[in-house]
Structure 1
Amino acid sequence: MKILISGASVAGPALARLLHRDGHQVTVVERAPSLRRSGWAIDFRGAVFEVLEELGILAEVRAHATGMTGTDLLDAEGNRVGELPAEVFSGELEVPKRELTRILHAHTANTVRYVFGDSINRIDQDDNGVRVGFELAEPDTYDLVVGADGIYSVVRRLVFGPHAEAVHHLGRSGAGFSTANHLQLDHRGALWQIPGRRMSYMYSAADPARMSANVFFTTDSPALDLLGRDEQEQAVRERMADVGWLMPRLLEDMAAASDFYFFSTAQVRIDRWSAGRVVLLGDAGYCASPSSGLGTSQALIGASTLARHLAQSGTDHTKAFEGYEREMRPYVTENQEIGVEGAKRLAG
């Protein structure tokens, strides 16, 4: 089959590799001009290791392990008051997200067609196929379309309805960026508890001169996610304006960071993950929130499950989509419960 995947982060390229293995013709469209280099370090736990083996990338992924040794707990003045074991944040294996994205792209670049710097703007389907319009490219027709384009999925909005009906905010937002290693962290993290239900998590792994800084604060909605960087930075400054110790320096560094990103603890909850010949994968269909710590594992397991059901069902995509959702729903429900509890802990 001729299949279009929207999204070139983790879920999309993973599915593309498995679909090509099974004989499908795959195109991946990504609105970013190139591979994204920002994002958290991501951790893996449990069944996802079988998927990394299936993809043929487990050994390569392991080579980029952060090797974290734990996390120091800091009070408002930056004094160490305790510690957490490495497994709390790093799971069984932790790697920079940019490395996983790079590895998946490298393993698919010669067999899958990638289109960067473009996005879907129209989807019309019937019993014979899906007619897709693009912002830049000429329209084309596909047998199936997969939305693997994140929590604010264009595919989901066009086919399933507005973001407001699917995205459920869990009360926390924040920003992440790289900065100088002000705390001299060595394969270690620091969780800074800031009065007013705010905190910062900082860590350093691969580069001893640099650390990743993430600041979190309570919010009423995820609306900031859809604004530009200037507005997002201003929101961070407003929420952190009265914080001393390291925060003034972090705010200065944030403005100069080339890898700034903004995020919210939010979930995607919808009644069905497929409509006709269109299906959702990963955060686009069932984001469990960053507070779950399971988003990447969920995306990879979802990709493997969807590919397997498509292979088993032949040309009957309806049967494949139903089997995929039936198998994944209990796992996703459990992860989303973990995400809710994690957001409550973050909120203090």
Structure 2
Amino acid sequence: MQKVLISGASVAGPVLAYWLRQYGFRPTVVERTSAGRHGLGGHAVDLFAAAVEITARMGLADRIHEARTRTRWLSMERYGKPPVDVDLDKLSAGLSDQHVEILRGELTSILYDATRAGVDYRFGDSIASLHDDGDGVDVTFEQAPPERFDLVIGADGMHSTVRRLVFGPEQQFRRPLGGYLGVYSLPNSFGLDNRMLTHLSVDRLVGVYGVHQTGQARATFLFRTKEELGDDHRDKERQKQLLRDQFRGHGWKVPQLLEHLDAADDFYFDSITQITLEDWHRGRVALVGDAGFCPGPAVGGGTSLAVVSAYVLAGELAAARSDLLSGLRNYQRQVRDVVQQSRRIGPKLMRSIIPASPTAVRLTPAATAVLIRLPERVQRFVWARSGFGKVLSSVQLPDYRDLVRTP
């Protein structure tokens, strides 16, 4: 049984492990985060048609549907203007036939629960070094004894350790899009149920919505900067201070939201940055999801892309079983088009999501309200013209069902 080490247990890692197990491989997942922290927090992410179909093939349709955020209404507010309410169900219907919004942490937990019985998970550890001799990969860990694997897959996100060890420093592959995203949980003191409140100002968007599973609320901060802030993605205290600095003096509900920042134990903060490698495998080491081609947090459909790419990678490895390197090449060929299209979307959405001028602040709510009143067919035409709908509709899932080896 061929052994595959997967670094990362968020989205792409468990999906890949599930399908590799189905095809008769022996997957091991190593995750720096401890088991107790796994699956907590995270912002709302989108699963579109192809990703929804893959999770359904994993038998998770009911759990994914039950875990959806259930946010129905979006109230868009600006200084000195009345709020504009948007029906998100209508907006979602115009975007895609199949769409589920789900908290990233909830999705991670569901994927872990679906794979934990047949996959060797090793929490609280990370890869220290890799040596590929052409026939296999010798791996040393920060905690566990060394071990040899047939393949190593980096599914460890935008700041991938596997990518750094094999492909080089992150800096050479980064394409910052000029913005940042911050998210954390807080008490639901605003009485939010199925409504998200947002406030738009130039280069700033702040939102807060209820989380029905926990009874809490979640705050989201998006902002644009002319220069990178130089934050360390593991220095949470430094990141919290950067967020405070960016929103110092900001009105609306921001002071109330920031009161709970210090107590947040699920705080996420990162630049909206793309990873732009052109090749996602080197020898017996490959990358999947954000580790290989992050299209930009919050703007590029990265979660759906992670699910799709992991599914394809597992299938192509199974199809090429006696020649795993050929499987890696075929995987790259299969997903290249959708990766490149997704990469082009990020900068466009950055310009539309975060208002860049007073005119954009004024027009965005009105334009959104008009869009949802259009027939669904017209809405989808508008989305397709923007590029987003084109990517979603372009994914044709290969069928690997005849390769399954386990019940």
Q: CA RMSD in A?
A: 1.9
Q: Structure 1 CA distance, aligned partners of 2:31 and 2:243? A: 28
Give 1:79 shift. Answer: 4.5
Change in 2 beyond 3 A, CA 1:87/1:214: farther
Change in 2 beyond 3 A, CA 1:323/1:208: closer
Q: Structure 2 CA distance, aligned partners of 1:71 and 1:37? A: 24
Residues 30-57 of structure 1: CA deviation (Å, up to 9, x unaligned)? 0011213121122211222221122221
Alignment of 1:321 onto 2:328: yes
Give 1:217 shift. Answer: 1.8
Q: Which of the numbers 198, 203, 207 marks the counterpart of 2:209?
A: 203
Q: Which of the numbers 218, 221, 241 marks the counterpart of 1:215?
A: 221
Figure out how many residues of one structure are paired with residues of the other and give that number.
347
Q: Which of the numbers 239, 249, 263 marks the counterpart of 1:242?
A: 249
Q: Structure 2 CA distance, aligned partners of 1:68 and 1:174? A: 20
Give 1:293 shift. Answer: 4.9
2:27 counterpart letter in structure 1: V
Equivalence for 1:22: 23
TM-score (norm 2): 0.81
Change in 2 beyond 3 A, CA 1:284/1:208: closer
Residues 119-149 of structure 1: CA deviation (Å, up to 9, x unaligned)? 1111110121101111111111100000000
Equivalence for 1:161: 168
The SS at the match of 2:260 is helix
Alignment of 1:269 onto 2:272: no
Change in 2 beyond 3 A, CA 1:78/1:149: farther
- Contact preservation (8 Å) 2:39, 2:106: no
Q: Which of the numbers 319, 329, 332 marks the counterpart of 1:312?
A: 319
More deviation in 80-89 or 181-190? 80-89
Change in 2 beyond 3 A, CA 1:291/1:41: closer
- Contact preservation (8 Å) 1:122, 1:133: yes
Q: Which structure 2 residue ranges, 5 or more long, are not aligned?
A: 356-407
2:220 counterpart letter in structure 1: N
Residues 175-196 of structure 1: CA deviation (Å, up to 9, x unaligned)? 11112224322212122113x4
Give 1:98 shift. Answer: 1.8
2:216 counterpart letter in structure 1: R
Q: Which of the numbers 113, 134, 142 marks the counterpart of 1:135?
A: 142
TM-score (norm 1): 0.94
Residues 195-214 of structure 1: CA deviation (Å, up to 9, x unaligned)? x4112021114158421101
Alignment of 1:226 onto 2:233: yes
More deviation in 9-18 or 218-227? 218-227
2:45 counterpart letter in structure 1: I
Q: Which of the numbers 73, 76, 81 marks the counterpart of 1:73?
A: 76
- Contact preservation (8 Å) 2:288, 2:306: yes
Q: What are the within-5 Å matches in structure 2 for residues 60-209 of structure 1?
A: 60-76=63-79, 79-83=82-86, 85-86=88-89, 88=91, 92-194=99-201, 196-206=202-212, 209=215
Change in 2 beyond 3 A, CA 1:169/1:88: farther
2:75 counterpart letter in structure 1: D
Q: Which structure 1 residue ranges, 5 or more long, are not aligned?
A: none
- Contact preservation (8 Å) 2:7, 2:30: yes
Give 1:116 shift. Answer: 0.6
